[in-house]
Amino acid sequence: MNSDPTDVNLVQAAKQGDRTALIQLIENYQHRLYRALLPITNNSEETLDVIQDAFVQVFRKLHTLQEDSHFFTWVYRIAFNIARTRQRRQRPDSIDTSQIMIPSPDQSAEQKFESSEFREALRLAINQLPDDHQQVILLRELEEYDYQQIASALGISLGTVRSRLHRARAQLRELLSDWL
């Protein structure tokens, strides 16, 4: 997977102090980053805060970005780590599940999976996964990365991607067994 030549040029210019290039990189990826992080934070304002913190880190650490690295992958890792750290700090002692409604047995499978209750149960289940499993699930299912792109994005082997996805899906099946 090759880096986008436009990104490479913008990163090089930003490293040399070109603020316009840095602003262009931010504009190019802020919406995509928002879509990728919203399932993690489940809160629009929190997602925006995480993105802002991530881009502050990008500004501070841009000089550490390797030339063969992809800008989005790098900023995604930064933002994901910030989101998870913030989530750990804010994690309640217990989760109130009283508002989650179990669908009636006469609902079709499609209706169950489209319900807001299922989406909330799925979000809670994904949040219970270890960070490394969350990353591969979100990159695969939300960002629709192929296995090679995930491996490259996370700096892991293809086999590791496959095993993490397998384990993450198995954990989700177990956590969502009442729905399946």
Domains of the chain: 1-91 (1.10.1740.10), 102-180 (1.10.10.10)
pLDDT confidence band for 127 (50 / 70 / 90): confident
Convert the pLDDT of each residue in 145-179 to its tens digit.
889 888 888 889 999 999 999 999 999 889 888 77
pLDDT confidence band for 126 (50 / 70 / 90): confident
pTM: 0.59
Compute how many other C-beta atoms are within 10 angstroms of the C-beta atom of residue 22. 19
pLDDT confidence band for 95 (50 / 70 / 90): very low
pLDDT at 16: 92
Query: What does the radius of gyration of the chain's CA atoms come to, in whole angstroms?
Result: 18
pLDDT confidence band for 75 (50 / 70 / 90): very high
Compute how many other C-beta atoms are within 10 angstroms of the C-beta atom of residue 9. 12
